[in-house]
Structure 1
Amino acid sequence: MNKVYTYLILLSLCISNSVYSQNKGTLTGSFESNNQIYKNDSKIGARAPKDKFGSNNYLKLDYTYGNFRAGIQYEAYLPPLLGYDFNLEDNGIVHRFVTYEDNDLAITVGNFYEQFGSGLLFRAWEDRQLGLNNALEGVNIKFKPTNYISLKAVYGKQRKYFDTGDGRIRGIDGEINVLDALKASSNSTFLLGVGYLNRYQDYTGPLEDYPSSVDAWSARMDFSTGRSAFQFEYVRKGEDGNASTPQIVSEGEALLANYSYTQKGLGFNFSFRRLENMIFRSEREAVNNELLVNYLPANTKQHKYSLANIYPYSTQAMGEIGGQIDFVYTFKKKTALGGKYGTNVALNYSHYNKLEGTLVDGIFYSDSDFLGLDGSKLYRDFNVEISKKWSKKLKSTFAFINLEYNKSELEGGNKGMVKSKIYVADILYKLKKGKALRTELQYLNTDQDMGDWIAGALEYNIGSKWSFFVSDMYNSGVSDTHYINVGGSYVKNATRFSVSYGRQKEGLLCVGGVCRMVPAASGLTISLSKSF
């Protein structure tokens, strides 16, 4: 019953006053509630929990007064949705902070999020979809001694469910705008940055000379001029062990390089990344997405269509090398290929190999060639997407995706390399009085794993407030199983309510290459979100 009371209190706080504002300050916030009622579904292997219910809830409040800002975040998992860690089953205030900020100095005491560079060295962040929150609890200082120098310092412990981990994080980061420092008159930008981070955790195990303290540093450059931009970052991590290889202590390194060029109607981007032994946590015993110190997103195209996300790439922090190329071109209006409204074509290619070096217990890479490309293939994706507006009412997107996914390496098991071709047609037709109808058809063809898939969706929108949909993913290759979902949503100002009923496929859920495994599930989903 206490769970019900807690949920009602959260809901009443959300609906009461949307904005509280006086001469003395401003109160803002947000509320989010995601709930599922489960049922057993033997066809897809879904087993409902004992109470057949899951509920993730978040209430965030921020108060600003002059140069001061304070805030809290309350979370309640009553219990957590299936697929989230069972250690989250609790409720309480998990995030609290006070910040003072003026023109050149900002000091935060409490819980905070922060990032050095691209995050390869350090990032404290939150992603509710992944059930990830590794905010630091401690002190964060930002200082700008001049208009071209920026400094950051952090000290604290990472959030671990409703507590903090044992490890301590301390770091400093600096960045200089070189052209501003030289007072050069230029439209270009040239930034140089360096970062240092230390993680300390007591070690009481049997191994000798096992590092309690691990140092890591980074150097980066960001240069842009005219239509071109180039970014480069290198990270070196000291000797460290982790839960998957506790008997092995080795250094790690990461390299990220990116070049982009843009002009009207054309865009090009090339990126390269190499990772070796870059699992970095504030507790070496942590697993899954617990206590991650750095941020290693997948450097691949993030597909928006369901069948393309059956085989998502997850970053291989212990050893990967590869990159991707993006090319976007718009055929001009009133040309043979552009037609009346123009045509947009997007090409993307990404490829990642496993690092090959000295194997320890068959799972660890060390002493790899820095640019060694002879490792086994992990992932390859070539895709093309053509979008065209045919009239004021009709718009279409057609996509083709040629994917190779090493399921044995990326998920385990003996499925080997899965080679698939995916075809997508997405049609939007605008009706009268702000109404619109969108249809989506997908087909995945493969001779491996679960064989062929077919997917379809029909979406009907009434203005900007009402939306209804029905969708299905059908495995015609092996299981002869339908994953039908039906639902709708209502939006008014900053409030959104949605409800759906159907099945959830078991597999990896990835957001930018950071993933968690979700179980098969079947039932009713109700969500509410509001900003105020």
Structure 2
Amino acid sequence: MKWLWLLFLLFSLALSAQNTLQVSGLNEAQFIYRTALDSLNAYFRDAFAFRLAYRNFQFGMKFVAELPKYSTNQSEQMAELDPNRLSIGWKELYASYEKDGLLLRAGTIEESFGIGMTFRSWEDLEFDQDNRVEGLILRRDGDLKVKALYSAIPNQNQPERLDLAYGGDLFLTAYEPVHLGFSALSYRRLTPLNRYNQQDVFAMRSAVNLGYLDAYAEYAVTELYRNAPTNYDGNAFYANMNLYPTGLPVQFGAAYKRYDRFNFRLQDLPTANHHNQTLADDQNAGLDEEGLQGWIAWTINDQLTLNFDYAEAWNNDQDKRMNDFWSMLRYDSGSKQISLEYSHVEKLDEANSKWQLEAAPTLHVFLPILDHPIGWQAEYKYVEKTHFDRRHIHYEPHLQAELTLGKFALAAGVQSWWSKDKTLMSARYQANIEVKYHLYEHSELSIFAGEEAGGKVCRNGICRFVAPFQGIRAELSTRF
């Protein structure tokens, strides 16, 4: 840690003599008190980040304290204090130089190649997922865009050991309006036998933009070998197209995906459906998935718009299938907004005799009353599941209201859960309230009290189950 402080001191002294030094930052503090009987109660997190900038140079650091870390993942809830979940220290550091379209950055890196099929380094705090790499990246902008990366990331099973990720990406204009891209990467992951395997990925992509039409296609292949339990080849293909007919109030879109044994950690696969669902809740999308999506948006008049989105997916054996439907009718007139949505997701797994359906009509209303913005949301979710000869049905109605009064923003909600054999009075209810207040121009305080239902969340081709929450959550964010 001494070298880190020395680097920071030298950089600060070099810049402090200049009168154009810019300093900015953000501090986010969070205190959680969870009242569940079988859970650890108190959690605290603080993240203090700052950035120094002078001419073409930037330097940034972030201090993170998790005492202990609170995870939204259902499988990571704690009943007692765990020393492995206590951490404190400077966890992010970067320095960069940028001039004439050339960027050189060392340290923590957030980057993607193309749309992220072959490489994406990112952090998602809401999903409790940090897939950022540490290393060096060189990026050149212009007619020929170049990215070169050499980096490492903690191994998922042994965080004290590192995995490697390195490669490059080219994106060029072949001739207007056609653009071509090429990616080549290698991943070296530490196996349980303490030896590194190797997975190579090669990809080619094309993008076209004609004004009234834009299209994108990417094809990638991968090979896992060297110290792997099983060597295999995989491939992926994704394409989409959007059409904007001139003079017509209608827009169209379509997408196609096909993934076969194309899954690894540093990727973000397009799901090609509205709700970002995977074919099966317990399976990564890259293993075996194929699907189609189509959508249409119709501007009926200046106030009304109508949207439809439908997608289907299946696996190679055709014993897993899914359909995803979403529609919305929206009225928008100045500060008045009303929308009616309907969502429908159905999944079938014939091999395991499973079938599930989630359907939910939702009404959103936003109307100012006495010059104060007020919003309402009402949702009625229907869930049905079958497993062999067992059948389960339940309902999840949800009501929420939001009100803004000057510096105050208030949100109150209630959600219920009842099965088919229960009455309305015997159902389970979860209520909550959240208050936000702008303390100053640079600070905001948020306090949440009550219960949240939790449930399934799907993102980046992976589905996880978020733990329900009961208690108090206070957050303070300050920008400078």
The question of a shared fold, defined as TM-score above 0.5 by the shorter chain, is answered with yes
Residue 258 (str. 1) matches residue 246 (str. 2):
no
Instruction: Give the letter aligned to residue 92 of structure 1.
Output: G
Report if aligned partners of 1:39, 1:48 keep a CA contact under 8 Å in 2. yes
Residue 148 (str. 1) matches residue 143 (str. 2):
yes
Write the distance in 1 (CA, Å) between the matches of 2:59 and 2:378. Answer: 48
Write the distance in 2 (CA, Å) between the matches of 1:512 and 1:466. Answer: 34
Higher RCO structure (Cα 8 Å, ≥6 apart): 1
Write the distance in 1 (CA, Å) between the matches of 2:192 and 2:445. Answer: 50
* Count of aligned positions: 441
Q: Structure 1 residue aligned with 2:124, among 127, 133, 137? A: 127
Cα distance, 1:468–1:104 mapped onto 2, change above 3 Å: closer
Instruction: State percent identity of aligned pairs.
Output: 18
Report if aligned partners of 2:319, 2:350 keep a CA contact under 8 Å in 1. no
Please state how far the C-alpha of 1:512 moved relative to its aligned partner. 5.1
Instruction: Provide the aligned C-alpha RMSD in A.
Output: 3.1
Residue 382 of structure 1 aligns with which residue? 325
Q: Structure 1 residue aligned with 2:163, among 161, 167, 176? A: 167
Cα distance, 1:55–1:393 mapped onto 2, change above 3 Å: same
Residue 72 of structure 1 aligns with which residue? 61
Please state how far the C-alpha of 1:398 moved relative to its aligned partner. 0.7
Please state how far the C-alpha of 1:485 moved relative to its aligned partner. 1.2
Residue 524 (str. 1) matches residue 472 (str. 2):
yes
Write out per-residue CA displacement over residues 21-53 of structure 1, whole angstroms, 9 at most, x where no aligned residue. 972311111222333101126xxxxx321xx11
Residue 40 (str. 1) matches residue 60 (str. 2):
no
Mapping for residues 17-36 of structure 1, pairs under 5 Å = 23-36=19-32
Write out per-residue CA displacement over residues 168-198 of structure 1, whole angstroms, 9 at most, x where no aligned residue. 111011111122xxxxxxxx53210101001
Mapping for residues 52-451 of structure 1, pairs under 5 Å = 52-83=41-72, 88-144=85-141, 147-159=142-154, 165-179=161-175, 188-201=176-189, 205=193, 212-239=197-224, 247-262=229-244, 265-280=249-264, 292-302=265-275, 316-333=285-302, 342-356=303-317, 374-377=318-321, 379-389=322-332, 394-406=336-348, 416-433=354-371, 435-448=372-385, 449-451=392-394
Instruction: Give the letter aligned to residue 439 of structure 1.
Output: W
Residue 505 (str. 1) matches residue 453 (str. 2):
yes
Q: Structure 1 residue aligned with 2:410, among 468, 477, 483? A: 468
* Structure 1 unpaired stretches of 5+: 1-19, 42-46, 180-187, 281-291, 334-341, 357-373
Report if aligned partners of 1:453, 1:477 keep a CA contact under 8 Å in 2. no
Write the distance in 2 (CA, Å) between the matches of 1:345 and 1:315. Answer: 32
Write the distance in 2 (CA, Å) between the matches of 1:256 and 1:33. Answer: 40
Write the distance in 1 (CA, Å) between the matches of 2:336 and 2:419. Answer: 33
Please state how far the C-alpha of 1:392 moved relative to its aligned partner. 5.3
Write the distance in 2 (CA, Å) between the matches of 1:488 and 1:407. Answer: 43
Write the distance in 2 (CA, Å) between the matches of 1:427 and 1:83. Answer: 29
Write out per-residue CA displacement over residues 112-143 of structure 1, whole angstroms, 9 at most, x where no aligned residue. 12211111111111111122222222211113
Write out per-residue CA displacement over residues 322-358 of structure 1, whole angstroms, 9 at most, x where no aligned residue. 132221111124xxxxxxxx201111112221232xx
Residue 79 of structure 2 aligns with which residue? none
Write the distance in 2 (CA, Å) between the matches of 1:124 and 1:394. Answer: 39
Higher strand proportion: 2
Cα distance, 1:178–1:470 mapped onto 2, change above 3 Å: same
Cα distance, 1:351–1:156 mapped onto 2, change above 3 Å: same
Cα distance, 1:174–1:261 mapped onto 2, change above 3 Å: same
Q: TM-score, normalised by structure 1?
A: 0.75
Cα distance, 1:483–1:96 mapped onto 2, change above 3 Å: same
Residue 327 of structure 2: SS of its match in structure 1? strand
* Structure 2 unpaired stretches of 5+: 1-15, 77-81, 386-391
Write out per-residue CA displacement over residues 246-281 of structure 1, whole angstroms, 9 at most, x where no aligned residue. 74332221111010112574322211111122221x
